[in-house]
């Protein structure tokens, strides 16, 4: 779907896109093809697409995948997609809030791939939800604001390194990324976007029951970024428990959260909850 076709469709149907829903549609064919190629989809794949919009990515996914599940919140777009892909049995279209859908369905996503132009307004929570799933997908390939991509790729000590970095990368390993100019979207956002590919870690560094403990630790540790982590953790564990755990992990009592690597946070989670 070219930009001119996208404009015409929206105009004919009287659809005004809203910032509240994070509706910035990717229309550049080269970028769409690049995203699909990055996902390396085959006919044996099941693909989850969140926020299909007018379906330019959906169309490409259907040519490659065996099954596509598309979740769209905007009822006006759902009606358009139903008409556009009428009779396409490989597509299951769901009218729902994607975040609520992920939380409520408790689907086994094992073996699935998520390929999406995620709505900017809910992209980070959706990534965290997928990374928190009891049985997460094997791969996520998604367009995001470039600032979010940088946070996912960040290393300990960097200014972008933080809660999102850790909550997502404890389950997924960032593999590759590329930048997408703002001009490739309609309406054109004020900042550039990017596509990132995340591959499930195998084996998983934490069993699923421990993921909640890890999340609690990370959120507490970053609750006041410039404070010593040992003091922040005393809101949940005693000073003695915190001191012993940090010593066993070889961590300084003066350390701040941004200085700890993913592996050190995992190790500390195990120590504090042993």
pLDDT value at residue 105: 83
Residues 55-91: b if buried by 16+ CB within 10 A, e if exposed: bbbbbbbbebbebbbbbbbbeebbebbeebbeeeeeb
- Dihedral angle computed from the Cα positions of residues 87, 109, 99 and 161, in that order, rounded to the nearest 10 degrees: -130
Pairwise CA distance, residues 267 & 236, whole Å = 17
pLDDT value at residue 125: 97
pLDDT at residue 20 above 80? Answer: no
pLDDT value at residue 2: 86
pLDDT at residue 22 above 80? Answer: no
Peptide bond into 198 cis (omega under 30): no
Q: Look over the chain and give the mean of its residue pLDDT values, rounded to a whole number.
A: 95
pLDDT at residue 121 above 90? Answer: no
pLDDT at residue 225 above 90? Answer: no
């Amino acid at each position: 779907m070219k930009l001119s076709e996208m404009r015409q469709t929206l105009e004919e149907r009287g659809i005004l896109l809203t910032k509240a829903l994070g509706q910035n549609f990717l229309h550049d064919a080269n970028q769409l093809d690049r995203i699909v190629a990055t996902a390396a989809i085959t006919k044996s794949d099941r693909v989850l697409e969140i926020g299909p919009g007018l379906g330019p990515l959906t169309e490409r996914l259907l040519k490659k995948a065996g099954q596509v599940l598309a979740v769209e919140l905007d009822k006006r777009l759902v009606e358009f997609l139903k008409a556009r892909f009428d009779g396409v049995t490989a597509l299951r279209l769901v009218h729902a809030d994607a975040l609520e859908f992920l939380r409520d369905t408790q689907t086994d996503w094992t073996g699935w791939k998520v390929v999406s132009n995620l709505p900017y307004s809910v992209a980070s929570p959706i990534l965290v939800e997928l990374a928190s799933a009891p049985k997460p997908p094997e791969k996520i390939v998604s367009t995001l604001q470039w600032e979010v991509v940088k946070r996912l790729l960040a290393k300990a000590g960097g200014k972008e390194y933080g809660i999102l970095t850790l909550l997502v990368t404890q389950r997924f390993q960032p593999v590759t990324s590329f930048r997408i100019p703002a001009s490739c979207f309609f309406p054109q956002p004020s900042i550039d976007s990017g596509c990132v590919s995340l591959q499930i870690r195998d084996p998983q560094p934490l069993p699923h029951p421990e993921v909640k403990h890890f999340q609690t630790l990370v959120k507490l540790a970053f609750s006041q970024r410039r404070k010593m982590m040992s003091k922040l953790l005393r809101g949940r564990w005693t000073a003695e428990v915190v001191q012993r755990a940090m010593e066993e992990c070889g961590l300084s009592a003066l350390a701040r959260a941004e200085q700890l690597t993913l592996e050190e946070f995992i190790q500390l989670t195990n120590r504090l909850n042993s």
